[in-house]
Structure 1
Amino acid sequence: MINILLPTDFSDNSWNAMVYGINFFNTTEVHFHISHILDEDGANDESTRNSALYKLQAFLTRLRKIANTKLHKFSFSIQETSFVCGLRKIIEDVNVNLIIMGTLGASLDQQSLVGKNTTAVISRIKCPILVVPEEATYKKPQNIAFPTDFYVTYKARILRGLKFVSNCHQSKLKVLYYAKKSEELTTSQKSNRDFLKEQLSDIHHGFYYSINDSLEDAMQLFVKSKDVQLIMMMGKNLNYFDQLLFYPVSKAPKYFKKIPFFVLHE
């Protein structure tokens, strides 16, 4: 059984992320830990806590109606602390394997497509996270994109994550190398690429190359042409990571609003 953390602020985006996660892991034995974290600096009186408890119980009732009752288990908690500290405590206490969150919360900060809480989790908590955009609806991930520049080494935890997610639905992992111009790979890049090929030999996969002035455009074309339903990334691969995840609303590519991101950490 794997442990999945579902932080919630009771927003529609949060609910959508939960539904996506339950559908994604419909055939997997999972203990879902639903948690609401009250701002430690807020006026958290008994009425506030009781209201949060009522909403958690209502969410849980709705989730059980769509869950696989034979494989899914649920628990919930309320904490009064900072958001990141609260999540870290749960991760340590129950050995969380994955966090699932929406891109935005109740504040719906329209200046950026990734809200401050999700950004904080991605950058400050070294736990895999599945980020579900507001407009995403669950589709079986037949094709998963994994953009990389081959400059990073692929450690065991990254490889396990790639294989686990791919095997959940017998998806094809499509490794995408992007460059602005056609250049021969360095010795280090070739070594990392060959190692990755060898390690992925036991799952359905393919390697693809894209030459384009813009990584965003290359990703948009790849998602559309290869019918991609999920994008996996390494948090360590900052060269790609920042460009693909953190957009102002006005410049965001179309795929970002509908395709979930799965961020892996070493």
Structure 2
Amino acid sequence: MKQILIPTDFSLNAWQAICYAQELFKDQECVFHLLNTYTPAIVSSRFMAQHREEELHQQGSGNYSEAGLKELVERIQRNGPNPKHYFETYSSFSLLTDEVNNFVEHENIDLIIMGTKGMTDGDHIYMGKNTVRLIKTIKNCPILAVPRNIDFSVPNEISFSTDFNMFYTHSELEPLIEMALTFNATIRIVHIQDGLKPLDEIQRFNLGMLRKYLAQIEHYVHTISEVKSFSDTLLAFNRELDIHLLAMLNYRNSRVDELTQEPVINRDSFEVQVPIMIIPEISIIYRNKKRKSQVA
């Protein structure tokens, strides 16, 4: 049974991410772990000991969190229950990144799904601070970030952005391969260059291995010249080919860094209209750990 973690702050975008997740996996048995975290607002006071003030705030926030999760499950059930879907709720007094890391570690989470923006993020940005933090922090589980106000489309056209400079293992590409096989999708491997030039020996080898991994999936390689910026070029490619999901591998100095930098995040003109699946570079230690858990 698939284990899906959905962090929520009860915002509209968070609700839309839940709806997307339900539709995406409507034919699969899943446990959806709905997580809300809260932290204290530390305010100085002349009349109350600081620890007591924090305790009262924690109690109030905890009540709000638990009530919000209860209402969320009730809303899901009112929308039409799916007998294949099960929901667990978790309210936690902790930092979101810490709690998500703990969940992934102990609950064998397969995928994290969340909105691209939260309740406190402005309309002028396309990706909020919590989403960016998780993308930069979570190293052992893929994240699917769902933009606000998108209509669900079966992801049968997937773009995978790469520069072929990194050697990917089959384990790292498993989330992408599984998604493509589940929905009988075509994968568009898109290589954006600053001026078109031939691949070097390492790039050719990595492309060859990538095509080997994707042998059972219909896939095409698109090499295009960067126009204005990487983010603008990728967005234009996705629009032109009617892409339903964008996948990227997150490793050191990868193109994911460019999409999560403040100048891009804060641009009014940049608005990703498809979900983005960020796949972390999985370490050998994690792969061995995952293999042991599957054997157990």
- Give the match for residue 287 of structure 2: none
Partner of 1:86: 99
Partner of 2:122: 109
User: Partner residue of 1:19?
Assistant: 19
The structure 1 residue matched to 2:159, chosen from 111, 125, 145, is: 145
Would the aligned equivalents of 2:7 and 2:35 in 1 still touch at CA under 8 Å?
yes
**Is the CA contact 1:27–1:68 (under 8 Å) kept in the aligned structure 2?**
no
Q: 1:177-199: per-residue Cα shift (whole Å, max 9, x none)?
A: 11121211110000000010011
Q: Counterparts of 1:36 and 1:224 in 2: how far apart (Å)?
A: 33
Change in 2 beyond 3 A, CA 1:108/1:201: same
Cα distance in 2 for partners of 1:217, 1:46 equals 45
What is the aligned partner in structure 2 of residue 250 from structure 1? 267
Across the aligned residues of Structure 1 and Structure 2, the Cα RMSD in angstroms comes to: 1.9
Aligned length: 264
In structure 2, which of residues 191, 202, 212 is the aligned counterpart of residue 188 of structure 1? 202
CA contact (8 A) 2:170 2:213 kept: no
Cα distance change on mapping 1:67 and 1:40 into 2, 3 Å: farther
- Paired with 2:138 and 2:265, the residues of 1 have a C-alpha distance of 23
Give the Å deviation of 1:158. 2.0
> Could you state the TM-score of these two structures normalised by the residue count of structure 2?
0.83
Whether the 8 Å CA contact 2:2–2:110 is kept in 1: the answer is yes
| Distance in 2 (alpha carbons) for counterparts of 1:175 and 1:151 | 14
SS of equivalent residue, structure 1 residue 238: coil
| Matched position secondary structure for 1:190 | helix
Contact 1:26 1:67 in 2 (8 A): no
Counterpart-to-counterpart distance in 2, 1:93 and 1:198: 33
Q: Equivalents in 2 of 1:89, 1:67: separation in Å?
A: 31
Aligned to 1:262: 277
TM-superposed CA distance for 1:15, in Å, is 0.8
Please tell me whether residue 228 in structure 1 is matched to residue 243 in structure 2.
yes
* Contact 1:23–1:67 (8 Å) recurs in 2: no
In structure 1, stretches of 5+ residues that fail to align are none
Extract unaligned runs of 5+ from structure 2: 43-53, 283-296
User: Does 2:232 match 1:217?
Assistant: yes
Cα offset, 1:205, TM superposition: 1.5
**Other-structure match for 2:168:** 154
Q: TM-score, normalised by structure 1?
A: 0.92
CA distance in structure 1 between the partners assigned to 2:72 and 2:63 by the alignment: 14
Percent of counterpart pairs with the same letter?
26
Stretch moving more, 148-157 or 104-113: 104-113
Deviation track 1:14-45 (CA, whole Å, cap 9, x = no partner) reads: 11111111111111211100011111556434
Q: Which stretch of structure 1 is more off in the superposition, 219-228 or 181-190?
A: 219-228
Please tell me whether the aligned partners of residues 125 and 268 of structure 2 are also in contact (alpha carbons under 8 angstroms).
Answer: no
Alpha carbons of 1:29 and 1:68: their partners in 2 closer, same or farther (altered >3 Å)? farther
Find the aligned partners of 2:236 and 2:132 in 1 and give their Cα distance. Answer: 25
Mapped to 2, the partners of 1:67 and 1:5 lie a distance apart of: 20
Partner SS state of residue 250, structure 1: coil
Within 5 A, what are the aligned runs for 1:200-215? 200-213=214-227, 214-215=229-230
The DSSP-based 3-state class of the residue aligned with 2:255 is helix
